[in-house]
Structure 1
Amino acid sequence: MSASEKTAAGVSTLTLHLHLLPQDILVEILSKLPAKSLVRFRCVSKFFYALIVDHGFGVLHRTLSLTLPSKAAILIAIIPSRRPRSVPSAPAYYTINFSKENPRRPGMLQADRLGYLDGDEPFLKGCLHSSSDGLICLSRPNGDIVVVCNVSTGQRISLPRFQFDSPHGTKTCALLGFDSQSKRYKVLMIDRRSCFEYKHWVLTLGVDKSWREINYSSHPLDGVGCAGYSDTSVHIDGVIYFYNWLTRDDPPSFHIVAFEVWSESYSFIPIPAEVTSSSPHLRSIDASGETYHYTDFVLRNFALLQVDGGRLAIIYVHNIGHLFNMVVWTLEKSKGCWEKITMIIPFKFDLYRFTTNHAGEIVLLCIDSKQFFILVCNLKSEVWRKFDVGGVKEFPICFPEDVRIYKTMDHVFSIE
Structure 2
Amino acid sequence: MAGVSTLPQEILMEILSKLPAKSLVRFRCVSKFFCALIAGHGFGVLNRSLSLTLPSRAGFLISIEVRPPHPAPYRRVYYTLNFSEEENPRRLQANRVGFLDAEPFLLSSSSDGLICVSKPNGDVAVCNVSTGQRIFLPRIQYKDYTLLLAYDSQSKRYKVLMSTQMIDQESSTRNKLTYYEYKQWVFTVGVDRSWREINDYYSFPFYPIDGINSPCNCSNTSVYIDGVIYSYNMQTKHSMFRRLHIVAFEVGCESFSVITLPDQVSSQSYLFFTKSALLEVGGRLAIVHVRVPDLFGEGLCYMDVWTWEKSKKCWEKIIVTIPLEWHRIICYASSLRFATNHDGEIVLLCIYGEQFFILVCNLTSEVWRKFDLSGVEDLPIFSCWEVTLHNVVDHVFPLE
TM-score, normalised to structure 2's length?
0.86
Residue 24 (1) aligns with residue 10 (2)? yes
Partners of 1:148 and 1:158 within 8 A in 2: yes
- 1:268-298 Cα distance to aligned partner (Å, 9 max, x none): 1111111124x6256xxxxxxxxxxxx6x66
1:380 to 339, 349, 364: 364
Distance 1:397 1:89 in 2: 11
Distance 1:227 1:263 in 2: 30
What does residue range 387-406 of structure 1 map to in structure 2 within 5 Å? 387-406=371-390
Q: Give structure 2 stretches of 5+ with no counterpart.
A: 168-178
Partners of 1:173 and 1:226 within 8 A in 2: no
Partners of 1:141 and 1:227 within 8 A in 2: no
Aligned residue identity for 2:318: I
Aligned residue identity for 1:78: I
- Correspondence for 2:336: 352
- Correspondence for 2:277: 303
- Correspondence for 2:23: 37
SS where residue 57 of structure 1 aligns?
helix
Distance 2:261 2:209 in 1: 18
CA, structure 1 residues 199+226, in 2 after alignment: closer, same or farther (shift >3 Å)?
A: farther
Distance 2:343 2:382 in 1: 29
- Correspondence for 1:287: none
Partners of 2:184 and 2:205 within 8 A in 1: no
Aligned residue identity for 1:47: F
What does residue range 16-415 of structure 1 map to in structure 2 within 5 Å? 16-82=2-68, 88-102=73-87, 105-121=88-104, 123=105, 127-140=106-119, 144-164=122-142, 170-194=143-167, 195-215=179-199, 217=202, 219-223=204-208, 225-226=210-211, 230-246=219-235, 249=239, 253-277=243-267, 280=269, 301-308=275-282, 310-321=283-294, 322=297, 323-346=300-323, 347=326, 348-349=328-329, 350=333, 351-369=335-353, 371-415=355-399
Identity %: 58
CA, structure 1 residues 263+28, in 2 after alignment: closer, same or farther (shift >3 Å)?
A: same
Partners of 2:67 and 2:75 within 8 A in 1: no
- 1:128-176 Cα distance to aligned partner (Å, 9 max, x none): 120000000012467x111111000001111111245xxxxx3001110
- 1:28-76 Cα distance to aligned partner (Å, 9 max, x none): 1100011111122223233222221222211111111111111111110
CA, structure 1 residues 119+398, in 2 after alignment: closer, same or farther (shift >3 Å)?
A: same
Distance 2:125 2:354 in 1: 35
Q: CA RMSD for the aligned pairs?
A: 2.3
Distance 1:249 1:263 in 2: 26
Distance 1:132 1:208 in 2: 19
Structure 1 position 220, deviation (Å): 4.4
CA, structure 1 residues 410+382, in 2 after alignment: closer, same or farther (shift >3 Å)?
A: same
Partners of 2:67 and 2:382 within 8 A in 1: yes
- 1:74-130 Cα distance to aligned partner (Å, 9 max, x none): 11011113466x96422111111111122xx33111111111211313x1xxx2120
CA, structure 1 residues 219+264, in 2 after alignment: closer, same or farther (shift >3 Å)?
A: closer
Distance 1:218 1:415 in 2: 28
SS where residue 320 of structure 1 aligns?
coil
CA, structure 1 residues 64+137, in 2 after alignment: closer, same or farther (shift >3 Å)?
A: same
Distance 2:116 2:55 in 1: 23
SS where residue 154 of structure 1 aligns?
coil
Distance 2:207 2:147 in 1: 13
Distance 1:206 1:251 in 2: 35
CA, structure 1 residues 376+203, in 2 after alignment: closer, same or farther (shift >3 Å)?
A: same
Distance 2:198 2:242 in 1: 27
Structure 1 position 367, deviation (Å): 2.5
Q: Give structure 1 stretches of 5+ with no counterpart.
A: 1-14, 165-169, 283-294
Count the aligned residue pairs. Answer: 372
Greater CA drift, 36-45 or 358-367: 36-45
SS where residue 401 of structure 1 aligns?
strand
Partners of 1:196 and 1:220 within 8 A in 2: no
CA, structure 1 residues 27+315, in 2 after alignment: closer, same or farther (shift >3 Å)?
A: same
Aligned residue identity for 1:162: I
